[in-house]
Amino acid sequence: MTDIKKRLFVTDSNIKKAEIAFKRQTGSVQLLAVSKTWSSEVLRDAAMAGQRLFGENYLQEALVKIDDLADLNLEWHFIGPIQSNKTKDIASHFDWVQSIDRLKIAQRLSNQRPSELADLNICIQVNIDNETTKSGVAMEDLLAFAEQINKLERLSLRGLMIIPAKTDDPEQQRTSFKKAYQLYTQLTDLYPTVDTLSMGMTADMTMAIAEGSTMVRIGTAVFGQRHTATGQVN
Ligand SMILES: *Cc1c(COP(=O)(O)O)cnc(C)c1O
């Protein structure tokens, strides 16, 4: 087995274990492999090992990989911050955008989604712990914001994306995930298309599954530690 194949196997097994431990339905939690900084070759290995969903944060880097791997039937999720001059490329090359927190960006994606493609799947990013430095809509603005997003043509509102505040305290993490799940159930009551609660990364995956995540976004556990060109951990 290749390294990637082993790591994917372990990550999949850990997801299954958490589903069982917390009485979640088998297969109710999807794995999004977060592949920022990794090369097309590495992603191809992961795809050969059965991984289909990939998450990317940086547009230029992602476009190269999407093109290199066009022969595979992969699903691409954009999960990074979005500048308005990037929306056209995102609208034409991605299947999902999980980092929506501004109406203007959503409107541009809606206008720019090519008509031959399926509707672009959207998750609203919520700033669940009200951090001043973090992206995402405030909890109290979510319902009004979702209503606006849901009206836009060529977009399909699928759910929420959450990045909780960094903490070593599992109880605090759990509180953030619980809040997110409550918001998520409010949305599922209102919108039949909503079926995705994207929360949980390498360090907090198990707790996120315990609290109702339907999609974990995992980078490090699948690909290993990331390094930038400068040697910094990214
Ligand atoms: C990088 C990243 C991840 C993956 O983080 P790991 O800790 O490597 O699993 C998940 N979500 C977002 C939004 C990210 O930017």
Q: Is the CB of 136 under 6 A from ligand 1?
A: no
Instruction: Measure Cα distances from 56 to 24, 134, 157, 186, 228 in Å.
Output: 27, 18, 19, 28, 15
Q: Which domain holds residue 173?
A: 3-223
Measure 134 CA to ligand 1 centroid, in angstroms.
Answer: 14
Domain count, the chain: 1
Yes or no: say if 148 and 126 are a contact pair by the CB < 8 Å rule: no
Does residue 231 sit within a domain? no
Q: Is the CB of 40 under 6 A from ligand 1?
A: no
pLDDT for 229: 54
Does residue 230 sit within a domain? no
Does residue 232 sit within a domain? no
Yes or no: say if 78 and 90 are a contact pair by the CB < 8 Å rule: yes
Q: Which atom of ligand 1 is nearest to the CA of 98?
A: 13
Q: Is the CB of 220 under 6 A from ligand 1?
A: yes
pLDDT for 1: 67
d(CA 138, CA 130): 7
CATH number at residue 18: 3.20.20.10
Measure 217 CA to ligand 1 centroid, in angstroms.
Answer: 6
In terms of C-beta distances under 8 Å and separation of at least 24 residues, what long-range contacts does 84-90 make, across chains too? 84/108, 86/59, 87/112, 88/112, 89/59, 89/63, 90/59
Measure 200 CA to ligand 1 centroid, in angstroms.
Answer: 9
Does residue 98 sit within a domain? yes
pLDDT for 2: 77
Measure 115 CA to ligand 1 centroid, in angstroms.
Answer: 31
Q: Which atom of ligand 1 is nearest to the CA of 79?
A: 13
Q: Which amino acid is at 211?
A: E
Does residue 211 sit within a domain? yes
Does residue 10 sit within a domain? yes
Mean pLDDT by 10 residues, the chain (234 residues): 91 98 98 98 97 98 98 98 97 98 98 98 97 94 98 98 92 95 98 98 96 98 83 50
Does residue 63 sit within a domain? yes
Beta bridge partners of 217: 32
Which protein residue's CA is at the shortest distance from atom 4 of ligand 1? 219
Does residue 125 sit within a domain? yes
